[in-house]
Amino acid sequence: DTEVTQTPKHLVMGMTNKKSLKCEQHMGHRAMYWYKQKAKKPPELMFVYSYEKLSINESVPSRFSPECPNSSLLNLHLHALQPEDSALYLCASSQGWGGGEKLFFGSGTQLSVL
């Protein structure tokens, strides 16, 4: 199994809603990532978990809250988002973290905030 599975594929939410994005991998990878990608732009790193510990938070607003319940799962909890947060949210995993590991990406969640 070389897949990273993200759910849901599409999400529309209001600014007062609370929702969660989910990501799962069964490759035994020990690093997992959240990236945000706006249309026609490169992915931007948000968070990195290494061995289930948050290793990097790239100055992401607190309305985004990551969680890594175990080595296979990664969640992104969303609360009080703004319309400018509308984007494609990509989860990725790698065997380890550091030194430029190859990333495996999920197909993303397309988020629209109304």
Q: Which residues bind another protein (CB under 8 A)?
A: 4, 6, 40-45, 48, 55-56, 88, 90, 92, 97-108, 110
60 contacts 46 by C-beta, under 8 angstroms: yes
Nearest partner of 85 among 20, 15, 21, 16, judged by Cα: 15
Least Å from the CB of residue 50 to another protein: 8
Which CB atom, from 18 or from 41, has the smaller least distance to another protein? 41
Q: How far is CA 114 from CA 53, 64, 111, in A?
A: 32, 16, 10
Least Å from the CB of residue 85 to another protein: 17
Which CB atom, from 6 or from 76, has the smaller least distance to another protein? 6
